[in-house]
Amino acid sequence: MNVKVTDKIATIIFYTIAIVITLILVGLLSFILVKGLSGISWGFLTKPPENMKAGGGVGPQIFNSFFLLFLTMLFTVPVGIGGGIYMAEYSKPNIVTNIARLVIEVLSSLPSIVVGLFGLLIFVQKMGMGFSLFSGALALMIFNLPLMVRITEQSLRAVPVEQKEASLAMGISHWKTIVSIMLPIALPGIITGTILTAGRAFGEAAALMFTAGMSSPPLDFTNWNPLSANSPINPFRPAATLAVHIWKVNSEGLTPDAKQIAASASAVLITCVLFFNLLSRLVGKLIYKKFTAA
Amino acid sequence: MIRTTRENDKVKDVSSLNAKYYDTKNKIVASIGKYYTYSCIFFSIMIITFLTYFIASKGLSTFLKDGVSLFDFLLGTEWKPEHENTPKFGAFAFIFGSFAVTLLSVSLSTPLSVGAAIFMAEISPKSGSRFLQPVIELLVGIPSVVYGFIGLSVIVPFMRNTFGGTGFCLASGTLVLTIMILPTITSVSYDSLKALPGGLKDASYALGATRWQTIYRVLIPTALPSILTGVVLGMARAFGEALAVQMVIGNVQRLPNSIFDSISTLTSILTLEMSNTIAGTTYNNALWSMALILLLMSFIFIFIIRILGKGSKLNER
């Protein structure tokens, strides 16, 4: 065959691939939104789920998802940023750094169900925390830590070396340079990455089934005592998140409207994840503008 | 005169004292900060150590304490953990299921993903970065239960109507995973194609090669180690994916006869049975052995990626 014809055919094939992938995404999103949005009402977003009859909502699950996300980030961000600073600034080319790098790689490729099972063994059983938001947050921390470390490291490495050197040349200590000069410059990258990490944690289910549990106690949203069993902000109560709830409804849902609930809950979940995605872009752009316009 | 000198001295004294005070304070803060970052990394290393130790000790006790032979576990096809007299712990069907669904989805996804990466890097960088890049990023963001739900409500009925049977089958799991690992392979391949030195392409064009010839004779071979890294990362994701797969493969515990048969994978068995068993029983330990296999496989994937990284010429920069 003529080489030019082959070239044309190849080009057409590449275009087809690009179009097919785009269509898959459009199909996925419109399927979820079309099927799901019709079932979304104020009641669906606030009411607790029903066990047997139709008409239940996902109110507590939505709350659980956000609360768990908050707890997870509370654990992940400080440790992740600390680890990232070590990798970018303090690591020397020695065996410890090599091990650390390997550990981060291994952690980031762990199947989420393995993390969940480890959480079941250690946090739920050995440490006696039971199925709770706290165990779930710790499991998600293991899941998100490598990402957070990598994001911080990359953002710090992207800081212009002249700025770091200028600070060091003025006699400012290495730590002070990191905290007052480099971290502010790296902040847009870190924040964008953190929001993306949050989106990932928000949709995670396999790691949570065995740690945060698959059910929620009846919640009393007027009770804000963090130690009482039916208080929404008690971190030691079991809590099914939105993603876990979708799985549960699909595989063992007994209500007649299980399909519709799964579709609507998926639509809510997707909307939240898209929102996180959008937010990270927006925030990244805004902060970038603020720091470069000066 | 004398008075002023004295005052000056006093001022100097105080400021040097202050400086000394701030100096020690800064030093303390700096070393606290430094050791804090050390402890964060130490913490990560401890997590992986504990994780490996506990899963290994649970998983190995099937063989060491309960006396199930490793051979029977890995190659036995009978899974009857609750049989009264002769319980059987053959996990071959699940191991086979995991490998089958992984290899099939990777072989479907790789041409698509590499094609998409080439499209973004070489064919049309403009529409690539404007449309395809966001599409890929959104695909990464979709949670796995949502993929499972879509598989359940679109792919499974489609399979049922087209090929008969229940629709819950190896092929459905393969299709779901193909889409799920597509962004992983695409973004790694794209990065590696982007990182190629521009001279390579120019030299090829200068010799009169067409774009397609340049792509498959020059660019792909040069970027191959990194593209393979992406493929292995995709495999790791497919092998460890639990819920999306579990929801569409039917979870029948035997070896499939065709790709339209129901199967089980290591992850699907763990998802369904772990919470029904009592800690310490052989049944429970056998499940932990499967978790150990998942863990070891993810170590092996990382090992392969490391070897590929060493072979890559790009890393020599």
Q: What is the pLDDT of residues B35-46, one digit of tens each?
A: 898 999 999 999
Alpha-carbon distance B60 to nearest alpha carbon in chain A (angstroms): 15
Quick one: which H or E segment has residue A115?
Answer: helix A112-119
B100 touches chain A (CB under 8 A): no
- pLDDT over 50 at A69, yes or no: yes
Candidates B153, B166, B149; CA nearest to B246 is: B149
Of A28-32, A232-236, B250-254, minimum mean pLDDT range: A232-236
pLDDT at B293: 92
Mean pLDDT taken over chain A: 84
Tokens of B174: 């393969």
* pLDDT tens by residue, B84-136: 777 888 888 889 989 999 999 999 999 999 999 999 888 888 887 788 888 88
Contacts of A263 in chain B (CB under 8 A): 149, 153
- Residue B231, amino acid: V
Which of A86, A112, A125 lies nearest to residue B37, judging by beta carbons? A86
Interfacial A residues in 233-262 facing B (CB < 8 Å): 243-244, 246-247, 250-251, 259, 262
pLDDT at A211: 87
Interfacial A residues in 137-196 facing B (CB < 8 Å): 142, 145-146, 149, 173-176, 178-179, 196
Nearest CA in chain B to A138: B47
Contacts of A100 in chain B (CB under 8 A): 41, 44-45
pLDDT at A55: 66
B40 touches chain A (CB under 8 A): yes
More confident residue, B151 or A292: B151
- pLDDT over 90 at B232, yes or no: yes
* pLDDT tens by residue, A178-208: 888 888 888 888 888 888 888 888 888 888 8
Mean pLDDT of B210-231: 89
- pLDDT over 50 at B1, yes or no: no
Interfacial B residues in 136-155 facing A (CB < 8 Å): 136-139, 141-146, 148-150, 152-154
The partner residues of B79 in beta bridges, in order of sequence, read B89
B101 touches chain A (CB under 8 A): no
End-to-end CA distance of chain A: 59
Give the whole-number percent of chain A exceeding pLDDT 90: 11
Contacts of A149 in chain B (CB under 8 A): 40, 44
More confident residue, B26 or A118: A118
- pLDDT over 90 at A43, yes or no: no
pLDDT at A280: 82
B117 touches chain A (CB under 8 A): no
